[in-house]
Structure 1
Amino acid sequence: MPSKTSWFNRELLILDFRSVGWISLLYTIALFFIMPVKIMFVLSNDHRYTKADLAASFTDPFQINWFFQVLIYFIVPILLAIFLFRFIHVKEQAELIHAFPIKREKIFVQKAFSGVIFLTVPLLVNAVILVVLTQVFDISSFLSFGEIAEWFGTIWLFLMVLFFASVFISMLTGISAVQGILTYIFLFFPVGFSILLFLNLQNWFYGFPANYFIFEEIERYSPLSRLAMLFNSPIKTSEVAIGFILLVLFIGLSIILYRKRKLESASHAIAFHQLKPVFKYGVTFCFMLLGGMYFIEVERSSDSLWVYFGYFWFSIIGYFIAEMILQKSWRVFGAIKGYLVYAFVMSIVFIGLHFDFTGYEKKVPALEEIDHVYFGPYLYETEENLKRHYEYDSEEAIEAIYNLHSEIVKTPTKQGSSYEEVNIHYKLKNGETMIRNYALSNSHMFKEELNAIYATEEYKEKQFKIYKVDPKAVDRITIEEHDITYEKHVITDPGMIEEAVTMLQKDIQEVDYDVIHMDAYKNYTTFTLNNGDVIGIDGTERFKQFTKWLESNGFKGTALEKAEKVSHLFVAKESDLQMIEDERFYMENVFFNGEEYDFFVKVTDKQLIAHAMEHTTDPYEIGISGELYYVGFYPYSDRQYPVMVRAYDETTIPEDLKEMLQ
């Protein structure tokens, strides 16, 4: 009768514990100090911590020293996989262990089983300690058994995915150090590659919403980034299913590769000859995207030639780096033939992208297919905020947004230094979505289409919450003047409140492109309702009838009246400021030392000061439009720093002040 051999060998398990058990032991101790000890420390300082503090600290296990938790979760499973499977990377060890009459599948299962035990036991021990602490110190209302069980299950799944991902990588390489590096590259690859790809797609396809995908979706692309976000974004059922699918996939592929792996592949960077071209051209492609991203995002180049320059040189660098790794030599510069093939293929691709062979840039959904649309400058919000502020479902608004989109795709423009961001997110009746993002440096070209949107009742209700409020429902109006005076006015008289709100609502009724795009920053007005809700509107000086009412009722001083509160101005041309070679070159520092520079002009004339208060603006809002003239405002106090620094451009600076600067 044939004898049966067990899949698990007790002696091998003991041997694994002796060789790598120290990792599991240190992991147990580290987790103990990070979580149970933290809880005991907080509880032992009950004179310093209130019940509210305890509730905030122990909302769930993911909130307890989460940074340090993530740190060890990132390190331990990969480190364990490296040491457990190091035997296949050392030729002598590989030959010795495979000389035993044991099938490779059983060796793999034994090593994998050891890894699972060494990762599970420390987690389980600390979970039990947490449960005991909740009962002993009676904090189960803050930290329940269910929350601890959820934490254990979630972290266990992530640890298994990270461990077996590293095991899978160990089968592809013959060097342990390369295994560690490639594991982190492999795990972070979906995020890193996606960022590179999205930023380049944004350059290739006008309207591609790179920021939407980066800010809204990308954290879920990698186990590492998703693990880091668990403290404020609980795992979903679908993600659990994906985790187990990845687990099965990594285990299955690892076994298949282990069967086919040759002993002599130990000490080789890539263990399988067939994968070397994949590695080489994969590195080349990623470096090419990195070069494009550098000139697109870092240098902010609007010239396609510089972007292609980046593609060319970075792809060459990536290609030869990959060759050096594969050949383990720096003498690889004769192997240029492979790069020429790559360059030819990518040239064909770039030609196709240039002529938009996909039709992506011109695509606009049929008007009758649109169910509703999100429209605004910033759509990276929670679902609730999107619905409240940016969702439009009236026929009038949808058609106006559709018409704007149709005009934008007819005249694609490059992003300038000053631009307006427009996001359009369609939800179609068939359940599909279509998202576009445009940086319009020439939004005035679409003034007619934008005015059609601003004229809709739905837009006014979404963007100005005070528009449909009954004036009698307002309890108090507070006007804060964010200029040199920083004055604050409060209106509580019911009759005056009704008049003020009515004036503002009339202004909103007539709102148009010029009002929306006015550089308004000086007034911030809040309306406190009888039910306690607060509605805020920034830049209310844009609204003429409302502003006139404030002035006529003594709630807003004239520019000349405010100029009396200013001691003097210092004015300088931007070109002169740029000549200062000083490590202290911060605008406030330069104006603080204004007396040191002969190109500064001191202004005390109240008419000029009043003009500056009305016509200067934030220099970063002006963009590149010729010479700028910086203005520092100084109050009467002994304060030497300017209370604010604003700027004129060529079209707004008065001629007599300009002559003083010559």
Structure 2
Amino acid sequence: MWSRSLWRQNYKQAKTMIWGFILVSLLLPYNLFQESVSINNEWPKNLDSHHRVSPPPSAYDMSYYFMDTSLILQGMVVIIMASLLLGLQRTNQSYELTLSLPYSRQEIMLSKWLLGVLTIVGSVAVSALLSLIVIQTTILTEYFHLEVLGYYVIFAILGTVAIFSFATMFGYLTGSFFAQAVLTSIFVIFPIPFAELVRTFVSNHTGEFVSMSGFTDSMSLVTLAMYVADFGYRASDAIHREGGLSGIGTVILVCGLYTLLSVALAYILSRHAKAEHHGRTLLYQSIEPILKAGVIVCFFLTGGMFFSEINYHGGERSLVSYYMGGILFAGIAYYVLTKLLNIRFRFQYPTKNHNKKVNATK
């Protein structure tokens, strides 16, 4: 697991996204510097005094929404990073070369996961240090609440490590780069839109609007993307209330559980993945019916919601329109999914021996 050759190979496989994550992490100190320039321009010095003009109270309520951009981009990059480390190897057939090395499958899996985690922790730490320097050496020291930076570090590390671990688990369920990246991206946001689909289904069948706020809140709680997408709102709300950032315990619990369960499942699945299914959407054909059923149900609910909305003109909603849209979308989903599950996304990995043979034929 700590072999230099294994780590070097993993780095070569994902170096584009490793450096991409580092650069994305540096967006935070850059945005903070830009924020300081903006504040300087908005609240100029008083030429008649050595003191600054006191800004209105609202100026102290800084907007922290620019921090969402860094977190969202970090989440997107780690999904691609995990897909490069696993899915791309299955797509270009280089995973067989990795398995030929004198390491167990579990060691290979853990080395890939640790490379991603160390990249995340190191990048966030450097980003936080540079951000702290920017804050302390600019006008932001009068405006910026330093505890928000500490909360940002917690959200960035726990949230992105959880997403990376989740994507790694999908790397041992799927057989291609495309399937791993797409399915991970879907499931990190899945609970919230699914809750809305269920709410719409119930509303159409009861004939009245149903909020189902408890169910929606529960689904939001387990939506992994929310822990990197709404940090700015949480931070601004906490400063307005002059209290600590809400939900830190929830972040630690949910992201921690996602990480532990994802790593455990990836560790178990790494022992059983079959090379003959590389390039396919799923490595385990036994779960294809489950995926089909889930996709068809979701598309049925989506089609029903879409048709019921476009045919709604006040009064009661038409169940006929709902089921017509649901059946149409479910049929399309079944047809497309059947085709996708039978496609094998693979191409030959250009090894040195292969290149020699190509050059010899030329």
User: For 2:93, what is the secondary structure of its paired residue?
Assistant: helix
Residues 133 and 99 (structure 1), Cα distance of their counterparts in 2 relative to 1, 3 Å cut: same
Quote the residue 1:187 is aligned against: 188
2:267 pairs with one of 244, 255, 258: 255
TM-score by length of 2: 0.79
User: For 2:166, what is the secondary structure of its paired residue?
Assistant: helix
1:36 pairs with one of 20, 29, 32: 29
Residues 566-607 of structure 1: CA deviation (Å, up to 9, x unaligned): xxxxxxxxxxxxxxxxxxxxxxxxxxxxxxxxxxxxxxxxxx
1:297 pairs with one of 292, 309, 317: 309
Shift of 1:270: 1.2
How far apart in 2 are the matches of 1:283 and 1:46? Answer: 49
Whose radius of gyration is greater, 1 or 2? 1
Matched, 1:112 2:113: yes
One-letter amino acid of the counterpart of residue 308, structure 1: Y
How far apart in 1 are the matches of 2:195 and 2:300? Answer: 14
One-letter amino acid of the counterpart of residue 96, structure 1: L
One-letter amino acid of the counterpart of residue 259, structure 2: L
Quote the residue 2:232 is aligned against: 231
Residues 261 and 138 (structure 1), Cα distance of their counterparts in 2 relative to 1, 3 Å cut: same
Quote the residue 1:246 is aligned against: 258
Quote the residue 2:294 is aligned against: 282
What runs of 5+ residues in structure 2 fail to find an aligned partner? 44-53, 235-244, 345-362
How far apart in 2 are the matches of 1:317 and 1:151? Answer: 42
Would you say the 8 A contact 1:195–1:214 is kept in 2? no
Residues 124 and 56 (structure 1), Cα distance of their counterparts in 2 relative to 1, 3 Å cut: farther
Residues 318 and 46 (structure 1), Cα distance of their counterparts in 2 relative to 1, 3 Å cut: closer
Quote the residue 2:279 is aligned against: 267
Shift of 1:213: 5.8
Quote the residue 2:336 is aligned against: 321
How far apart in 1 are the matches of 2:85 and 2:56? Answer: 43
How far apart in 1 are the matches of 2:103 and 2:88? Answer: 15
Quote the residue 1:531 is aligned against: none
Residues 47 and 197 (structure 1), Cα distance of their counterparts in 2 relative to 1, 3 Å cut: closer
Shift of 1:175: 1.2
Q: Kindly indicate which of the two structures has a greater share of residues assigned to helix.
A: 2
One-letter amino acid of the counterpart of residue 252, structure 1: A
Shift of 1:125: 0.5
Residues 203 and 260 (structure 1), Cα distance of their counterparts in 2 relative to 1, 3 Å cut: same
Paired residues, what number? Answer: 320
Residues 268 and 44 (structure 1), Cα distance of their counterparts in 2 relative to 1, 3 Å cut: closer
Would you say the 8 A contact 1:154–1:235 is kept in 2? no
Residues 1-29 of structure 1: CA deviation (Å, up to 9, x unaligned): xxxxxx32233223333442332323323
Would you say the 8 A contact 2:17–2:78 is kept in 1? no
Would you say the 8 A contact 2:93–2:278 is kept in 1? no
User: For 1:210, what is the secondary structure of its paired residue?
Assistant: coil
Residues 12 and 19 (structure 1), Cα distance of their counterparts in 2 relative to 1, 3 Å cut: same
Residues 216 and 319 (structure 1), Cα distance of their counterparts in 2 relative to 1, 3 Å cut: same
User: For 2:103, what is the secondary structure of its paired residue?
Assistant: coil
How far apart in 2 are the matches of 1:268 and 1:186? Answer: 19
One-letter amino acid of the counterpart of residue 194, structure 1: A
Alignment of 1:501-540 (within 5 A): none
How far apart in 1 are the matches of 2:36 and 2:300? Answer: 54
Shift of 1:57: 7.7
Residues 270 and 49 (structure 1), Cα distance of their counterparts in 2 relative to 1, 3 Å cut: same
Shift of 1:73: 2.3
Residues 215 and 164 (structure 1), Cα distance of their counterparts in 2 relative to 1, 3 Å cut: closer
Residues 244-274 of structure 1: CA deviation (Å, up to 9, x unaligned): 0111011111111111111111111111011
One-letter amino acid of the counterpart of residue 281, structure 1: A
User: For 2:225, what is the secondary structure of its paired residue?
Assistant: helix
One-letter amino acid of the counterpart of residue 328, structure 1: I
User: For 1:269, what is the secondary structure of its paired residue?
Assistant: coil
Q: Between 84-93 and 171-180, report the one with greater CA deviation.
A: 84-93
CA RMSD of aligned residues (A): 2.8
One-letter amino acid of the counterpart of residue 107, structure 2: K
Alignment of 1:177-576 (within 5 A): 177-206=178-207, 209-210=210-211, 212=213, 219-233=220-234, 234=245, 236=247, 237-300=249-312, 302-328=317-343
What runs of 5+ residues in structure 1 fail to find an aligned partner? 1-6, 330-662
Residues 68 and 272 (structure 1), Cα distance of their counterparts in 2 relative to 1, 3 Å cut: same
One-letter amino acid of the counterpart of residue 336, structure 2: I
Would you say the 8 A contact 1:55–1:142 is kept in 2? no
Quote the residue 1:26 is aligned against: 20
Percent of pairs with identical residues: 19
How far apart in 2 are the matches of 1:182 and 1:313? Answer: 23
User: For 2:282, what is the secondary structure of its paired residue?
Assistant: coil
How far apart in 1 are the matches of 2:57 and 2:82? Answer: 37
One-letter amino acid of the counterpart of residue 153, structure 1: I
Would you say the 8 A contact 1:58–1:64 is kept in 2? no
One-letter amino acid of the counterpart of residue 127, structure 1: A
How far apart in 2 are the matches of 1:123 and 1:81? Answer: 18
How far apart in 2 are the matches of 1:190 and 1:125? Answer: 33
Residues 207 and 213 (structure 1), Cα distance of their counterparts in 2 relative to 1, 3 Å cut: farther
Quote the residue 1:652 is aligned against: none
Higher RCO, 1 or 2 (CA under 8 Å, sep at least 6)? 2
One-letter amino acid of the counterpart of residue 315, structure 1: A
Residues 259 and 40 (structure 1), Cα distance of their counterparts in 2 relative to 1, 3 Å cut: same
Quote the residue 1:491 is aligned against: none
User: For 2:144, what is the secondary structure of its paired residue?
Assistant: coil
Quote the residue 1:627 is aligned against: none
Would you say the 8 A contact 2:174–2:283 is kept in 1? yes
Shift of 1:119: 1.7
Residues 103 and 58 (structure 1), Cα distance of their counterparts in 2 relative to 1, 3 Å cut: farther
Shift of 1:152: 0.4
One-letter amino acid of the counterpart of residue 49, structure 1: E
One-letter amino acid of the counterpart of residue 12, structure 1: L
Would you say the 8 A contact 2:163–2:224 is kept in 1? yes
Matched, 1:170 2:171: yes
User: For 2:283, what is the secondary structure of its paired residue?
Assistant: coil
User: For 1:261, what is the secondary structure of its paired residue?
Assistant: coil
Q: Kindly indicate which of the two structures has a greater share of residues assigned to strand.
A: 1
Residues 396-449 of structure 1: CA deviation (Å, up to 9, x unaligned): xxxxxxxxxxxxxxxxxxxxxxxxxxxxxxxxxxxxxxxxxxxxxxxxxxxxxx
1:17 pairs with one of 11, 33, 42: 11
How far apart in 1 are the matches of 2:201 and 2:131? Answer: 47
Quote the residue 1:74 is aligned against: 75
TM-score by length of 1: 0.45
Would you say the 8 A contact 2:277–2:283 is kept in 1? yes
Residues 166 and 45 (structure 1), Cα distance of their counterparts in 2 relative to 1, 3 Å cut: closer
